[in-house]
């Protein structure tokens, strides 16, 4: 009693295979887009239940435990790529590049963005993070010699202007820094630095990791990034910083966060990538910032400010122009290309933004 029969398991497997790849991508984008608002919400809940004078659901604990959950999922999904012959095929240059990418996109960028979430509105972080695509485009033209069309250039310029408007039209508040006659919030500055780190890691991946299997890349980036983040946090904040990581209250909420945001979201995303073209995945992923803004309103009650309306509108215009240009380029080059590669996955993630882990 209570055990499913082989026939039931086979029927369930057939049902899952009937679900189109796009559906998995859409589910994943809904989850990832809401992740920043969910993260802020559970840290607010933790602030109401201090343990030994500390918030057990601190952003550092959420990032650390969430990454451990993500690492477990990735190891299970990509276990076939972790054979000794596969690892030996990687050159020293590829391993060094993997380490750099892991530090930048697996430790530095998430740490900066999570800290930004602690100091400014989630909507600001979502919008300012859109600085990553135009930066990546500019670096790819400059360093990689990539050829892009006028639509992509106009989209990048519009996104850059929109981010600037979002940052500099913000109403004055105590946490503002004054820079050359302008004032900029600390959270917005941290989100900007996180976007720069992600853009640099993307260029490094495109240039040196094109032949590395996606599974190896994902596991190393997540695992090494988590380790580096843990060590840096210990050095900066002391050994007591992660004392709450074993709190039952933390793990009660992290099971929810880990299962939905990390396990389900990551599994849906990877399943959708395997069954979709780069073009399709890029279009779906571009809706993540919109989901993030809506989630901030529904979950946190963040009503967009005038600066966010103005900057966000220009950013969305840039996103639309960029998608037109990207689809035209892919129609010529990558109409049916699979998303199961490091450069393709990086390009899609750049378009989508931060995924919460």
Are the C-beta atoms of 183 and 357 separated by less than 8 Å?
A: no
Domain assignment present for residue 7? The answer is no
Picking from 59, 17, 54, the residue whose alpha carbon sits closest to that of residue 35 is 59
More confident residue, 271 or 10: 271
Domain assignment present for residue 170? The answer is yes
Domain assignment present for residue 2? The answer is no
- What are the CA-CA distances from residue 352 to residues 28, 159, 320 (Å)? 11, 13, 13
Q: Which residues, including other chains, have CB under 8 Å from residue 30's CB and lie 6 or more apart?
A: 291
Give the total number of structural domains in the chain: 1
pLDDT in tens, 296-321: 999 999 999 999 999 999 999 998 99
Domain assignment present for residue 9? The answer is no
Domain assignment present for residue 4? The answer is no
In terms of residue numbers, what domain contains 213? 21-352
Mean pLDDT, residues 17-36: 84
Domain assignment present for residue 13? The answer is no
Mean pLDDT, residues 210-229: 88
On the question of pLDDT at 347 being above 80, the answer is no
- What are the CA-CA distances from residue 237 to residues 60, 241, 284 (Å)? 11, 6, 39
pLDDT of residue 175: 65
Domain assignment present for residue 11? The answer is no
More confident residue, 79 or 296: 296
Domain assignment present for residue 12? The answer is no
**Taking the model in full, what pTM does it have?**
0.83
């Amino acid at each position: 009693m209570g055990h499913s029969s082989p026939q039931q398991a086979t029927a369930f497997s057939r049902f899952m295979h009937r679900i189109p790849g796009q559906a998995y991508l859409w589910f994943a984008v809904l989850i990832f887009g809401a992740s920043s608002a969910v993260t802020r919400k559970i840290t607010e809940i933790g602030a109401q239940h201090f343990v030994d004078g500390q918030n057990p659901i601190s952003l550092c604990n959420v990032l650390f435990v969430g990454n451990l959950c993500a690492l477990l999922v990735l190891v299970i999904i990509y276990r076939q790529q972790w054979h000794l012959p596969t690892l030996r095929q990687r050159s020293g240059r590829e391993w060094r590049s993997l380490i750099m990418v892991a530090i930048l996109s697996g430790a530095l960028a998430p740490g900066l963005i999570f800290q930004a979430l602690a100091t400014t509105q989630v909507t600001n972080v979502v919008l300012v993070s859109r600085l990553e695509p135009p930066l990546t485009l500019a670096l790819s033209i400059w360093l990689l010699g990539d050829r892009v069309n006028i639509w992509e250039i106009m989209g990048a310029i519009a996104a850059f202007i929109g981010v600037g408007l979002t940052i500099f039209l913000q109403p004055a508040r105590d946490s503002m820094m004054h820079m050359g006659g302008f004032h900029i919030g600390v959270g917005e500055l941290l989100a900007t630095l996180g976007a720069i780190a992600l853009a640099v890691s993307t260029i490094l991946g495109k240039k040196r990791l094109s032949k590395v299997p996606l599974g190896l890349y994902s596991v190393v980036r997540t695992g090494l990034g988590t380790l580096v983040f843990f060590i840096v946090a210990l050095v900066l904040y002391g050994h007591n910083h992660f004392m709450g990581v074993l709190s039952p209250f933390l793990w009660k909420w992290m099971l929810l966060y880990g299962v939905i945001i990390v396990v389900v979201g990551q599994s849906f995303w990877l399943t959708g990538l395997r069954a979709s073209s780069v073009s399709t995945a890029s279009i779906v992923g571009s809706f993540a910032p919109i989901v993030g803004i809506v989630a901030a309103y529904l979950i946190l009650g963040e009503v967009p400010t005038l600066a966010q309306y103005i900057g966000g509108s220009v950013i969305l215009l840039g996103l639309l122009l960029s998608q037109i240009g990207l689809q035209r380029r892919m129609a010529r080059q990558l109409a049916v290309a699979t998303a199961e590669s490091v450069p393709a996955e990086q390009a899609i993630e750049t378009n989508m933004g931060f995924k919460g882990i």
